Chain A
């Protein structure tokens, strides 16, 4: 019922949304950009122009401006928020870590920039299992050899990452690294270079302390490629996306134009576009259109099923494409279906059906166990929308007349019961027949 309502909502929504510029995002095109006063829109022309070209409707404001609150009547005002205010200590009433979490729960996506300066955003980051270094310790790397200061680093982009364009050139980066907590909802996008470290000084004067720290097994040293510098996060319940970026300069025109030590153009523009596209739910977005279940060789769901029956579970799954919108998608080959009552009694592959696009099907026999069961479809992959659907179905034992009868294994018992009855009749007949003779005989013996 819920998916069908959702489908109606989406189709209605699609009718209205189709009239203005085609939005590339699956969740809406209004974007709030909170820009700190010392930064101007002109610093990020390429990034913002790319967003507007993709149909987004940008609203710029400063952190202390409270023109249009981000939540109004418990509804988020914007579909997406870009928080480019890493150095600001005081925000207006409506932009607080709490309100950001609230809009996130309502499905708003966030891009949050950090900087070496301690700010309210720092405390918010730790809520997302990101462990930030001490304040004023930016990421530093002396490799590769280049003209720029050691805190401005070209970072290689992973060539095969689900949400990045393949073979993006390295990006210029300056900002802080952070460690990832043990949270499966995190989606690491860009890691710090292996030879980089976080330090409060970029001169060689402090090198001795760093060297000592490295000698002690890296204790107290923020270094290495395990650290993240751009990391995504998907919320558990509604798959709203948050992207944490350790430095705001990644998005600037200056870094986009800055050429790499090798001489080629930096990948900042492409990378920023990819990150924004993922965060604003343009790609790797899936949804379950409908789920149904029925007996094998039937088409209509039953109110309840009987143990040991063969049933079929079907799910229709769509994928969002920023060009064409929602369309049925059969590309998932690792979907699993669980049939659970407290524990999964059945866990089986939910495979795409070749004849029909977007249809996934699993057929199995209900276990020999009655109770209230659930079909659980739970698909979690890094970067992809979480797919989750549960349907409850009662499984009952056979009715009193639903059991098999006249089993061949039971014939000895049937024969036993029948022969006892026949024996009883024969016995009674002989008894009654023998009565006269006995009496006569008795008389005879008496007379004798």
Chain B
């Protein structure tokens, strides 16, 4: 309620400053290392554009996706470096992140206003309901398999 709003406001402000800051030294950047600053500028622009143009709901989805990727990578690294035993637990834990990622990514593409043309007959509410049902089924199997 308050969280997303305030954070989105803050990020907007940050985006504004980020967009503003690189624009100042840009003309005088001929003496600075050109490619590094150019890519930095591109990244900054991208980040600013993302913060500016993305609805806060999709940002929430993206934050969840990032969390899932990190969790999956940590489990995979642990499996490779430490132990894959018990393997069923690894499969369950890893599959839960992967499955949740797939479901969440589907949700994201279905509720994205820009994809409205593609999913004419799927309302955002229906997409969320599908997501919830799919997730509940996924977690049921994951905890069954976790051992």
Contact of A416 among B3, B57, B61, B93 (CB under 8 A): B93
In this complex, how many residues of chain A approach chain B with their Cβ under 8 Å: the count is 25
Contacts of B132 in A (CB 8 A): 428
Q: Mark A429-440, 1 if CB is under 8 A from B, else 0.
A: 011011001100
Which of A407, A410, A428, A438: most chain B Cβ within 10 A? A410
Contacts of A412 in B (CB 8 A): 74-75, 78, 82, 93
Complexed CA–CA distance, A437 and B6 (Å): 12
A166 interfacial by beta-carbon distance below 8 Å: no
5 closest cross-chain pairs (CB), A and B:
A413-B93, A416-B93, A413-B89, A410-B89, A420-B96
Which of A403, A414, A434, A441: most chain B Cβ within 10 A? A434
Contacts of A421 in B (CB 8 A): 96, 139, 142-143
Main secondary structure of the interface of B (DSSP, over half): helix
Q: Which A residues between 151 and 165 are near B, CB-CB below 8 angstroms?
A: none
- Kindly state the interface size class of chain B when it binds its partner: 35 or more
Pair A417/B64 contact, Cβ less than 8 Å: no
Contact of A417 among B55, B56, B135, B146 (CB under 8 A): B146
Q: Which residues of A contact B (CB under 8 A)?
A: 403, 405, 407, 409-410, 412-417, 419-421, 423-424, 427-428, 430-431, 433-434, 437-438, 441
Pair A438/B142 contact, Cβ less than 8 Å: no
Contacts of A431 in B (CB 8 A): 57, 60, 128
Main secondary structure of the interface of A (DSSP, over half): helix
CB distance from A158 to the nearest CB of B (A): 60
Contacts of A420 in B (CB 8 A): 68, 71, 93, 96-97, 100, 139, 142
B67 interfacial by beta-carbon distance below 8 Å: yes
Complexed CA–CA distance, A415 and B142 (Å): 12
Contacts of B143 in A (CB 8 A): 417, 421
Complexed CA–CA distance, A415 and B75 (Å): 9
Pair B75/A434 contact, Cβ less than 8 Å: no
> In chain B, what residue has the closest Cβ to A416?
B93
Given known contacts A405-B147, A416-B93, A423 and B67 CB-to-CB distance under 8 angstroms: yes
Contact of B85 among A409, A419, A424 (CB under 8 A): A409
B1 interfacial by beta-carbon distance below 8 Å: yes
